[in-house]
Amino acid sequence: MNTSGLSPQEQAKKRAGYKAADYITNGMTVGLGTGSTVAFTMARLKERMTEEGLSIVGVPTSIQTTMRAGALGIPLIGLEQAEKIDITIDGADQIDPDLRLIKGRGAAHVRERIIADASTRLIIVADPSKICSHLTGPIPIELIPFSLSHVIRRLNELGGTVAVREGVKKDGPVISDNGNIILDYTPVSIPDPTALETAINMIPGVVSCGLFSEFTTKTTVIIGEETGPRIIGLA
């Protein structure tokens, strides 16, 4: 694996992403997450397809991932065509010691949650900066546009700060692949991630937030460290 020319953080992402590809075997249906670390996994899967004749199909979690897989020649199917998803490989913005996650910096967390739920196993790839002693936020929240003012009021009642995520190279808010608005919510603290996840997701108009606390028993985390990949959770 050549990491020359990459920043230390990109090298770490590549180590994690490449290691995750080792878990994939012939004939698997693979959930393909969104983000820069998973991009390295997809590149390695393409290498294995070329070098080893690896045969897989992917289920993408975003338009970006669909485009990237198409450019690499990784065959894709829709969720409705997948009888099962063997493994999903995805990234995370924060990972706590109990393998609870904050996801959604790429605004793809709704589809990522669906694909993770449909998967037998979830592999999270990340660089060391994503490991934390406790989750702090911000927590991405996807919501129906009609509900914007109501959801903001309810989040303010919970305490903390709320901001509509603004687009880059466009005016106005970020719009998800599902046509919804993204908020970034930073609570005062997160003593109980599961309880806060439930409270946010119960607000009418919220599609889903970026707290992921329900997949810990089927999660493997791969951290790309300077000495090599470190495995946390399921081996």
Domains along the chain? 8-131+214-233 (3.40.50.1360), 139-210 (3.30.70.260)
User: Tell me, what's the pLDDT at 32?
Assistant: 98
Whole-angstrom distance, CA of residue 220 vs CA of residue 214: 13
- Quote the tokens at residue 73: 């020649």
For the stretch 174-224, pLDDT in tens is: 999 999 999 999 999 999 999 999 999 999 999 999 999 999 999 999 999
Contacts of 4 (CB under 8 A, 6+ apart): none
Nearest to 94 by CA among 132, 142, 47, 139: 132
Whole-angstrom distance, CA of residue 166 vs CA of residue 164: 6
For the stretch 60-111, pLDDT in tens is: 999 999 999 999 999 999 999 999 999 999 999 999 999 999 999 999 999 9
Q: Is 142 among the catalytic positions?
A: no
Which one of 47, 112, 142, 214 is the catalytic residue?
112
Nearest to 109 by CA among 62, 153, 64: 62
Determine how many CB atoms are found less than 10 A away from the CB of residue 8.
11
Nearest to 87 by CA among 220, 230, 232: 220
Handedness of CA 78, 84, 87, 88 (dihedral sign): positive
User: Tell me, what's the pLDDT at 131?
Assistant: 97
